[in-house]
Amino acid sequence: MSETFLTPEQAAQMLNLSAYTVRAYARQGIIPAHKIGRTWRFSKADLEEWVLTDGQAPSSRPRGVPAARDCSSEAVYLPSPKPLGIGGARDVADKRSQAIKTLRDIRSQTQEGNVTSIVRESRKQLVDRGHIESDEQ
């Protein structure tokens, strides 16, 4: 028995969606799809199973594996990104607050004045640190 494959337009008509939405769902791994070269194809049987299971992943696919497959080369499945977990959100917040603190420190060290004097002072600091050579001779 040969399997029936649908174009994005045919799959969209079957699912009562737009072809654009069907392609986007395929890219995101929401609906089962096969990418053959530059085109998406949808197995009619996989789509029917997907609809019957209310959009849940078919049981034959391991959890965390996207529904879309790239058939242009040997299929490689990457696991879904892991959720942040218990300390993950806190780590992100800590890094963000550290970045804000650093920015405020930089702003507090800025000096008001004309551009020439600021550039002259910056060059002097770079020379003192050894990052550039002095122009003065």
Q: For 58-91, write each residue's pLDDT tens digit.
A: 555 544 455 555 454 444 444 445 555 555 566 7
DSSP 35-57: EETTEEEEEHHHHHHHHHTTTPP
Going from N- to C-terminal start, the domains of the chain cover 5-70, 85-129
In the predicted structure, residue 10 carries a pLDDT above the cut 90 = yes
Transcribe 60-98 into DSSP letters.
TSPTT--SEEETTSS----PPPPP-HHHHHHHHHHHHHH
- Its pTM stands at 0.43
- Count CB atoms within 10 A of the CB of residue 40: 22
pLDDT digits 0-9 by tens, 108-120:
776 666 777 778 8
The mean pLDDT of 26-33, rounded to a whole number, is 90
Least confident of 38-42, 43-47, 103-107: 103-107
Look at residue 109 in the predicted model and tell me its pLDDT: 74
- CA–CA dist 57, 54 (Å, integer): 9
For the domain 5-70, what is the CATH code?
A: 1.10.1660
